[in-house]
């Protein structure tokens, strides 16, 4: 029974890494970015590309089946994915902002980017699954009845480090404060001299960076497919809404609930229905607390 | 005659180009003054201050700061010109702490953060012990202090305040007005929009009375307090001057 907790936490770490970007675009750019899944996918494929160029495989760190080559590839992929995302913003979303487009226009534009991104990845990289490297996963018993892989612990550790850096950035740096200010009141932020365009650039960079990490770690755990990010979109949105759309800590809590629920559904033999089970839990919770776990009533 | 800190000449502005709210408004604010803009609801007082702040589009006329044309300057660039604006409502970042609110005031002069913070806390000592609290948890008067304090962190030469007494009890409003006098004494020029005419004029050097998007009367604060037409405009009735 306790095994689902281990599986759920790893799942939650990956969902949370992807959902943070969703939360930030929702709060700062004020639209639901349906292309967030493709950012995750592009990040994973860029990581594969860099791994191929380096030619060292994924390396190893003691019992963990990946090492510096994968980590270095992720760092490079974070940079390239961020550049791609900033170009898309400059070409598309900036134009819509300048024309005061409605939220639904932004959402439909994001849908378009999502579709184009997925098709482009299929066109360039092919539709068949790909792998970073072949390795034999080893497990050990962390607690009685709970087996984990060292890689799972490493994935959770990377996610936790990423969240600590993120929250330190948001709370201790001037740009972090500016981002929180724009999320709360964009007009007052402008009155204060905050350059909203710079805040928007940072929003995309942070969201793309965390999504790239999520995509690369998910690909390491499973496989690369053009649909891998799209398949994560619903759990990421569920985490965002369940946690409280205007609270980053809430998004992480929401991801934990979604990750555990999905793992529990698999554990009890409802693998094919895990998305439905997750959404049932989410709807039941939101009927009691519509603003989500840590969200504020609007 | 010295050059005004702020000079507005014949501006027309509004939310839609075909329907200007301001119709040819002019005013001057000189260094060290408190100038209050008065008028009934819908007179265009807040629109005027928002137009100066770049939040409402100006279709004609000019806004000059110490002789330089700043008409149409982007809102986020105004603070670089050392013009700070405190809106009437939602004027603090409620989820950010008081200290974080103040820190956002020195984005363009971060090296002055410590000295400006000291200056603001000397003016508003009550904020000293509230630094860690989220601004949204504060009372109306405390929020107003945070809002004005954050604006002062930018070391402005001109402070524009939109209805600082709105939503406050008469006693608290008097405290806020007294604090604005203290701000003036530190060398900051103040342009204020206010509904509370009598209290505002008592601390002001000069005033402008607006109605229907136009400036109707202006003069020394003491003379406006004695002017029966000012009262007439406040009651929403058309003044003799407006009819003429």
Q: Is the pLDDT of residue B242 over 50?
A: no
Query: Do the strands B6-13 and B58-65 form a parallel or antiparallel pair, or are they unpaired?
Result: antiparallel
Nearest residue, CB atoms, B104 vs list A181, A187, A196: A181
What is the distance, to the nearest Å, from the Cα of residue B10 to the centroid of all Cα atoms in its chain? 19
> Are B76 and A178 an interchain contact pair (Cβ–Cβ within 8 Å)?
no
Domain ranges of chain A: 16-231
Domains present along chain B, CATH in parentheses: 6-82+156-243 (3.40.50.300), 90-155 (no CATH)
Residue B61 φ/ψ region, left for φ over 0, alpha for ψ in the -120 to 50 degree band, beta for the rest: left
B150 interaction partners in chain A (CB closer than 8 Å): 192
Q: For residue A253, is pLDDT > 50?
A: yes
Query: B206 pLDDT band (50/70/90 cuts)?
Result: very high
- Asked if residue A286 has pLDDT above 70, the reply is yes
Q: Which residues of A touch B87 (CB under 8 A)?
A: 187-188, 191
Interface of A with B in 159-188 (CB under 8 A): 174, 177-178, 180-181, 184-185, 187-188
Place of tokens 């406006």: B224
3-state SS class at B55: coil
Which two tokens mark A13?
Answer: 């770490």
Lookup result for tokens 């702040």 = B53
pLDDT of residue B13: 94
> Distance, in angstroms, between B75 CA and closest chain A CA?
6
- B241 pLDDT band, cuts 50/70/90, is very low
CA atoms within 13 Å, Cβ hemisphere of B176:
29
Chain A residues in contact with B85 by the CB 8 A cut-off are 191
| Mean residue pLDDT across chain B | 90
Whole-number average pLDDT of chain A: 94
d(CA B113, CA B104): 10
* B67 strand-pairing partners: none
What's the token pair of residue A192? 């204060």
Dist CA B142 CA B129 (whole Å)? 12
Residue pair B125/B192 in contact by the 8 Å Cβ criterion: no
> pLDDT band at residue B233, thresholds of 50, 70 and 90?
low
Average pLDDT over residues A51-64: 89
Q: Which residues on chain B are in Cβ contact (under 8 Å) with A194?
A: 76, 104, 107
CB-CB contact of B221 with B205 (8 Å): yes
- Quote the DSSP letter at residue B2: P
Which positions in chain A touch B55 (Cβ < 8 Å)?
A: 187, 191
Instruction: Kindly list the residues from chain A whose CB atom is less than 8 angstroms away from the CB atom of residue B90.
Output: 185, 187-188
Whether B154 and A193 lie within 8 Å, measured CB to CB: yes
Does A196 reach chain B within 8 Å, measured CB to CB? yes
Whether the per-residue pLDDT at B239 is higher than 80: the answer is no
B-chain CB neighbours of A181 within 8 Å are 93, 96, 104
Q: How far is A191 from chain B (nearest CA, A)?
A: 6
Contacts of A177 in chain B (CB under 8 A): 96, 100, 103-104
Region A211-230: mean pLDDT is 96
Residue A182 near residue A192, CB atoms below 8 Å: no
For B3-26, the DSSP string reads PPSEEEEEEEE-SBTTB-SEEEEE
Among the partner-chain residues A174, A184, A190, the one whose CB lies closest to the CB of B75 is A190
What pLDDT was estimated at residue B41?
85
Confidence band of B1 (pLDDT split at 50, 70, 90): low
pLDDT in tens, A9-36: 999 999 999 999 999 999 999 999 999 9
CA of A188: which chain B residue's CA is closest? B91
Give me the pLDDT at residue B236, please: 44
Average confidence (pLDDT) over A223-230: 96
Q: How many angstroms away from the CA of A194 is the closest CA of chain B? A: 6
Contact between B93 and A185 using a beta-carbon 8 Å cutoff: yes
Q: What is the pLDDT of residues A122-140, one digit of tens each?
A: 999 999 999 998 777 788 8
Cβ neighbours of B157 (radius 10 Å):
17
Q: Which of B77, B80, B90 lies nearest to residue A188, judging by beta carbons?
A: B90
Give me the residue label for tokens 């770490």. A13
Cβ–Cβ below 8 Å for B96 and A180: yes
Q: Find, in chain A, the residue whose alpha carbon is nearest to that of B103.
A: A174
Closest in B75, B104, B108 to A177, CB measured: B104
The predicted complex's ipTM stands at 0.89
Confidence (pLDDT) at A298? 65
CA pair distance A150, A40, nearest whole angstrom: 23
């Amino acid at each position: 029974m306790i095994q689902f907790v281990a599986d759920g936490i790893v799942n939650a770490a990956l969902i949370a890494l992807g959902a943070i970007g969703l939360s930030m675009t929702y709060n700062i750019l004020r639209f639901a970015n349906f292309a967030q899944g493709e950012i995750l996918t592009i990040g994973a494929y860029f990581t594969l590309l860099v791994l191929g160029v380096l030619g060292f495989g994924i390396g190893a760190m003691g019992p963990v089946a990946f090492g510096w080559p994968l980590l270095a590839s992720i760092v490079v992929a974070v940079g390239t994915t961020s550049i791609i995302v900033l170009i898309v913003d400059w070409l598309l979303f900036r134009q819509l902002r300048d024309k005061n487009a409605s939220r639904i226009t932004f959402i439909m534009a994001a849908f378009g980017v999502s579709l184009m991104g997925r098709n482009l990845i299929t066109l360039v990289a092919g539709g068949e699954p790909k792998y970073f490297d072949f390795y034999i996963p080893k497990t050990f018993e962390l607690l009685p009845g709970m087996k984990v892989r060292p890689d799972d612990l490493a994935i959770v550790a990377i996610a936790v480090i990423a969240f600590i850096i993120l929250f330190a950035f948001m709370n201790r740096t001037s740009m972090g404060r500016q981002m929180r200010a724009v999320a709360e009141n964009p007009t007052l932020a402008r009155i204060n001299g905050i350059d909203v365009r710079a805040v928007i650039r940072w929003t995309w960079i942070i969201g793309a960076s965390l999504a790239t990490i999520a995509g690369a770690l998910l690909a390491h755990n499973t496989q690369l497919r053009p649909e891998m990010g799209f398949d994560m979109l619903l759990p990421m949105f569920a985490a965002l809404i369940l946690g409280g759309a205007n609270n980053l800590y809430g998004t992480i809590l929401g991801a934990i609930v979604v990750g555990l629920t999905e793992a529990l559904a698999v554990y009890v033999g409802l693998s094919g229905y895990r998305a439905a089970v997750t959404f049932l839990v989410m709807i039941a919770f939101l009927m009691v607390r519509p603003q989500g776990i840590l969200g504020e009533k609007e | 005659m010295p050059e005004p800190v702020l000079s507005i000449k014949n501006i027309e502005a509004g939310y839609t180009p075909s329907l200007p709210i301001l119709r040819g408004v002019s005013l001057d604010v000189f260094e060290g003054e408190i100038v209050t803009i008065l008028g009934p609801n819908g007179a265009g007082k807040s629109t005027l201050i928002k137009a100066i702040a770049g939040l409402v589009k100006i279709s004609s006329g000019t806004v000059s700061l110490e002789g330089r044309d700043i008409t149409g300057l982007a809102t986020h660039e105004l603070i670089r010109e050392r013009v700070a604006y405190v809106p009437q409502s939602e004027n603090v970042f409620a989820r950010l702490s008081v200290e974080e609110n103040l820190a956002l005031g020195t984005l363009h002069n971060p090296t002055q953060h410590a000295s400006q913070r000291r200056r603001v806390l000397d003016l508003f000592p009550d904020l000293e012990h509230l630094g860690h609290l989220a601004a949204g948890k504060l009372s109306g008067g405390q929020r107003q202090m945070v809002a004005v304090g954050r604006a002062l962190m930018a070391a402005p030469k001109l402070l524009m305040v939109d209805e600082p007494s709105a939503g406050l009890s008469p006693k608290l409003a008097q405290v806020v007005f007294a604090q604005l006098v203290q701000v003036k004494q530190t060398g900051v020029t103040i342009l204020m929009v206010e509904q509370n005419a009598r209290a505002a004029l008592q601390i002001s050097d000069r005033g402008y009375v607006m109605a229907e998007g136009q400036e109707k009367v202006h003069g020394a604060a003491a003379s406006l307090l004695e002017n029966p037409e000012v009262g007439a405009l406040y009651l929403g009735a058309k003044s003799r001057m407006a009819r003429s």
